[in-house]
């Protein structure tokens, strides 16, 4: 839990004090550090560089069991992300030492380039996101998240701080929920089970939930989505989550790819290709997580989250390469490669969403292509949109949350690569080059004239290594970005 504290550390006792401090250590600019005195920091090893750490036990002048200093690097280079990362390191250290509560001295923002509010928000965000671990599958887990993180010397009004903290805590809880879903093994989140987990969480938040099962999907003619799911013993589900505030006239739609495991199907992936494919539902996890946050944050417009959930398996009943199916929109699709399944479930989900909700804007998130990871690596997502304003709004949100995105083109003449000899369109382009682009172009054929953007999060959705405020596993990429986007009404 986040708290704000106004204790005088010279008079009242604080168990653990965390002090982020910059390289030049101008301690007089920072009251909390100043009370400790110059001598306290006269340690050669601690320069305040971005990796430096120093612990003092029972320091003179303050009533504190221990003070932990964390370097921030040079003052003029400090950004929101520096503060998130610093808090991440601090919380990890404190959890490692089995502490239960810490008090964080908010750095004097005058010395930073950031405004005070942004600095405090970044500290809270880094703290909340780092203070979480996924230990459901560990029989014995000694490490526990901290119970409280208190901020000392925070700027702004008490009410303003509390409001910001509540908003950030809720958003971060949605991020950690998305992370957990992505990290959950595929045997515990097959389409039926995953649909139940999502609707349970969504109902608890008061969202309107609907689940279309195989029978309903057949009735509604989700031909492309059903073709992907037909090789699995657990059949597809379409989960629809709705937030409908009173008086809202317009709706924004969020659609997330939910392949609970992607074997590639009959075009079976290689051993290394199969590794980690439990994360192929990260788009759905991000959208579901965002909807949970939306229920708390209450933006002005209506928001609908649409999650096509399938398991892509090879079997005697699986779709074959060369099969032709009729998609929800009515266009026939030749399935050139059963491993290009994401675009098949998305076109049905998006065409249905457009018809049913006529959204003012639609954004889809998907771990869609390996080609995207080749192009942008494992930390940056690709944004595709022919709507400049929408693309710019997404890039601005990405900049703020440091969920990095890079805009990619949707060249009309590349559509030629999607031609099929027999059907209206093929799900595999002729050749591997520009794979992220051809996948996005394929999607663009099914959204009509709806304002639409596609985020390929294939690289950013999962991390094999610990990050500064995100442990190895699902990253929850997209939740903070979408929450920021929805808060600014640029979509309408
Ligand atoms: N789920 C994969 C994309 C992916 C790859 C996500 C690596 C995360 C990490 C997707 O369904 C897929 O297999 N795409 C194919 C498309 C190809 C067959 C046209 C790909 O990228 O190779
Ligand atoms: Zn695939
Ligand atoms: Zn996939």
* pLDDT tens profile 161-183: 999 999 999 999 999 999 999 99
Q: What is the mean pLDDT of residues 320-346?
A: 98
Q: Are strands 14-21 and 324-326 parallel, antiparallel or unpaired?
A: unpaired
Kindly indicate the confidence band of residue 60, based on its pLDDT and cuts at 50, 70 and 90: confident
Residue that has been written with the tokens 């309107």 in this structure: 208
pTM exceeding 0.85: yes
Per-residue pLDDT tens digits for 64-85: 999 999 999 988 899 999 999 9
What digits encode the pLDDT tens for the residues 358-413? 999 999 999 999 999 999 999 999 999 999 999 999 999 999 999 999 999 999 99
Q: Which residues are catalytic?
A: 269, 343
Cβ(339) to ligand 1 under 6 A?
Answer: yes
**In 3D, which of 284, 295, 130, 266 has the Cα closest to residue 207?**
295
Nearest ligand 1 atom, CA 337: 18
Three-class secondary structure of residue 38 per DSSP:
helix
Report strand pairing: 361-366 vs 452-456.
Answer: parallel
Which residue carries 């609707």 as its tokens? 199
Task: Tell me, using a 6 A CB cutoff, whether residue 252 lines ligand 1.
Answer: no
Q: Would you say residue 492 has pLDDT above 80? A: no
Which one-letter DSSP state was computed for residue 269? P
pLDDT of residue 84: 98
Distance 435 CA to ligand 1 centre (A): 9
Residue whose Cα lies nearest atom 13 of ligand 1: it is: 339
Whether the Cβ atoms of residue 435 and residue 429 lie closer than 8 Å to each other: yes
- Name the residue with the closest Cα to ligand 1, atom 17: 340
Residue nearest to atom 8 of ligand 1 (CA): 458
Task: Say how far apart CA 354 and CA 447 lie, in whole Å.
Answer: 7
In this structure, how many other beta carbons lie within 10 angstroms of the beta carbon of residue 119? Answer: 24
- Please tell me the least confidently modeled range out of 48-62, 300-314, 317-331: 48-62
Ligand 1 pocket test, pick from 265, 370, 414, 454 with the greatest ligand atom count within 8 Å of Cβ, gives: 370
- Is pLDDT above 60 for 28? no
């Amino acid at each position: 839990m986040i708290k704000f504290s106004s204790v005088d550390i010279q008079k009242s006792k604080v168990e653990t004090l965390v002090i982020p401090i910059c390289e030049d250590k101008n301690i007089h600019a920072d009251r909390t550090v100043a009370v400790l005195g110059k001598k306290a920091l006269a340690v050669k090893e601690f320069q305040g560089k971005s990796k430096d750490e120093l612990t003092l036990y029972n320091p003179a002048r303050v009533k504190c069991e221990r003070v932990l200093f964390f370097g921030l690097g040079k003052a003029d280079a400090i950004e929101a992300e520096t503060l998130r990362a610093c808090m991440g390191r601090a919380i990890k250290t404190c959890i490692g030492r089995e502490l239960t509560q810490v008090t964080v001295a908010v750095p004097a923002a005058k010395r930073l380039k950031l405004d005070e509010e942004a600095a405090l928000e970044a500290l809270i965000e880094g703290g909340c996101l780092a203070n979480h671990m996924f230990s459901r599958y560990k029989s014995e887990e000694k490490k526990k998240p901290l119970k409280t993180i208190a901020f000392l010397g925070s700027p702004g009004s008490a009410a303003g701080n509390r409001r910001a903290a509540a908003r950030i805590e809720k958003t971060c809880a949605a991020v950690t929920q998305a992370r957990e879903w992505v990290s959950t093994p595929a045997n515990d989140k097959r389409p039926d089970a995953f649909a139940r987990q999502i609707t349970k969480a969504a109902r608890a938040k008061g969202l309107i939930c609907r689940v279309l099962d195989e029978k309903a999907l057949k009735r509604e003619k989700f031909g492309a989505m059903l073709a992907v799911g037909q090789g699995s013993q657990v059949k597809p589900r379409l989960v629809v989550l709705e937030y409908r505030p009173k008086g809202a006239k317009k709706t924004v739609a969020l659609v997330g790819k939910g392949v609970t495991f992607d074997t590639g199907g009959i075009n079976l992936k290689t051993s290394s290709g199969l590794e980690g494919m439990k994360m192929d539902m990260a788009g759905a996890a991000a959208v579901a997580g965002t909807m949970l946050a939306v229920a708390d944050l209450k933006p002005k417009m209506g928001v609908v989250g649409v999650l096509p959930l399938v398991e892509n398996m090879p079997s005697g009943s699986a779709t074959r390469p060369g099969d032709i199916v009729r998609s929800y929109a009515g266009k026939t699709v030749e399935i050139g490669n059963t491993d290009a399944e994401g675009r098949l479930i998305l076109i049905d989900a998006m065409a249905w969403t457009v018809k049913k909700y006529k959204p003012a804007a639609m954004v889809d998130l998907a771990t869609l292509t390996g080609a995207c990871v080749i192009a942008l690596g494992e930390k940056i997502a690709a944004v595709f949109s022919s709507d400049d304003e929408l693309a710019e709004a997404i890039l601005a949100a990405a900049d703020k949350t440091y969920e990095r995105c890079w805009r990619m083109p949707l060249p009309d003449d590349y559509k030629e690569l999607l031609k099929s000899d027999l059907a209206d369109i093929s799900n595999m382009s002729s050749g591997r080059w520009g794979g992220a682009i051809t996948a996005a172009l394929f999607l663009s054929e099914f959204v009509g004239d709806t304002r639409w953007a596609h985020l390929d999060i294939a690289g950013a959705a999962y991390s094999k290594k610990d990050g500064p405020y995100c442990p190895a596993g699902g990253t929850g990429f997209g939740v903070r970005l979408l929450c920021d986007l929805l808060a600014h009404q640029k979509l309408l």
